[in-house]
Structure 1
Amino acid sequence: MTDNGIAQAGRAVVVGGGSGMGQAIADALLGAGYEVIIVGRSEQRLADAVRELGDGKLTAIAADITDEEQVSRLFETVGTVDHVISTAADLAGSYGPITEFDFSHASGFLQTKLIGNMLLAKHARLAPTGSLTFISGIAAYRPAAGGAMVASINAALEGLARALAVELAPIRVNAVSPGWVLTGIWDNMPWEDKEQRLAAMAEKLPARRLGRPEDVATVVLSLLRSEFVTGTVLHVDGGHRLV
């Protein structure tokens, strides 16, 4: 602890750190002096992230957090860390009308975003003053038609954060809820007028712009430094919940 009450940098694991918000979080942590371990399923994506972020205090480990044996092995390898941040989410098949919903296709989202994060909580070797941070999402508050699975799992993840804040104390457990953030997810949308749609989305928000991965990273970093915040959801949504 420094004289001004801000915790010194330590070691952090970022699950999903190979792209998008996870990579931005890893970059912010490296800039703040943390030793960072990025984790993901794709070795190629992790290698690309290492090249982009630099290899200073950065390590990459390929692991699937839906596999308990791999999660256990991950923390046997990295040992005790100060913080674990998880952005993991497999959205494939997670949207669709409930009357036609194929739950077998959507199991990846349930497994990565809820069960996988529970496995992280089970096996993470966290310092007593450490923290666990989940990334939930605006769908828990502003669900869209056809998004029942996404809304439900995000809400469940925030409930998990509150429950674990009690169970794992004094380890702090929180969630960060992003709104519409400009990541690679929008590249997969079958829109011919993508730029116009994104601009219209931005205009709906009080912030009058869409989020950037760096916006989420800034809030995550503040949570790691705030030793009196636990069991909380911090919203990084440009005011989306208000409109």
Structure 2
Amino acid sequence: MSNTALVVGGTSGIGLATARRLHALGARVHVVGRGKERLDEIATTDPEITGHQADGGDRAEIGTVVEAIGRIDWLVVALSGGEGGGSIADLDPDTLRRAFDAKFWGHLTTIQAALPYLAPTGSITLVSAISARAGIPGTAGLAAVNGAVEGLVRPLAVELAPIRVNGVSPGLVDTPWWSGLPDDARQAYFTQVAQVLPARRVATADDIAEVVVLAATNANLTGTVIEADGGARLVSLG
């Protein structure tokens, strides 16, 4: 019997690239997203992937999805948010609370909703960001949110064993997260950063998805946060 995967936040970027890679491994793949338009696109481009419209931060909505799916072998939580950046002097606490709601609380409540349906030999993989462990000016809020996500990994790996729990910490990735910047400004920034990164390149969503799939499927990985950042934590990006 093939494995069943659920990717919450799986309709674009790293989440969608992960869903596609898991499908290529022969898994039955389900993705969750809030936007009907993206889900309709996936139904056309990836008809073998089953889409569900739900808010990843709403435990009841995710509960309805996982109940419909049944047994889940690989749970990937790739929720993200566009808020939380900026200098600490100007950071609005209400904005940071929304950022925690969108990402940290979304990760936590998704795990809670899915837990009764996770196979004992299954896995949970969380997607954070390198801001949690790098000293980049203007990212204190983002570091707090992503650090909280990463803080779940080690205790849950012990608490939920033999279910495996891991995290993946991406650096700069060319995904729709950057869509708020004009194309020319985004490309100029990517070019500038690529010259500083030890890997000398900005990652693609598929680069990170490859690591997420490793964390989800490797039976000997648990309690680990894999840094897939092109060396961003080793240099100054400020």
TM-score normalised to structure 1 length: 0.90
Is residue 158 of structure 1 aligned with residue 150 of structure 2?
yes
Q: Hey, what's the Cα distance between the residues in 1 that align with 2:61 and 2:136?
A: 34
Contact 1:72 1:123 survives alignment (8 Å): yes
RMSD of Structure 2 on Structure 1 (CA): 1.6
The answer for the alignment partner of 2:38 in structure 1 is 45
One-letter amino acid of the structure 1 residue matched with residue 100 of structure 2? L
SS in 1 for 2:104: helix
Contact 2:33 2:53 survives alignment (8 Å): yes
Cα deviation 1:54-87 (Å, max 9, x = unaligned): 212x110011122221122121111111011011
Is residue 222 of structure 1 aligned with residue 180 of structure 2?
no
Contact 1:84 1:131 survives alignment (8 Å): yes
Q: Quickly say closer, same or farther: Cα 1:191–1:142, change in 2 above 3 A.
A: farther
One-letter amino acid of the structure 2 residue matched with residue 161 of structure 1? V
TM-score normalised to structure 2 length: 0.92
One-letter amino acid of the structure 1 residue matched with residue 107 of structure 2? N
The answer for the alignment partner of 2:82 in structure 1 is 91
SS in 1 for 2:102: helix
| Structure 1, unpaired ranges of 5+ | 1-7
The answer for the alignment partner of 2:95 in structure 1 is 105
Is residue 79 of structure 1 aligned with residue 90 of structure 2?
no
Q: Hey, what's the Cα distance between the residues in 2 that align with 1:75 and 1:193?
A: 40
Contact 1:9 1:32 survives alignment (8 Å): no
Shift of 1:221: 1.5
The answer for the alignment partner of 2:29 in structure 1 is 36
Report how many aligned residue pairs link the two structures: 233
Shift of 1:219: 1.0
Q: Hey, what's the Cα distance between the residues in 2 that align with 1:49 and 1:236?
A: 26
Shift of 1:122: 1.1
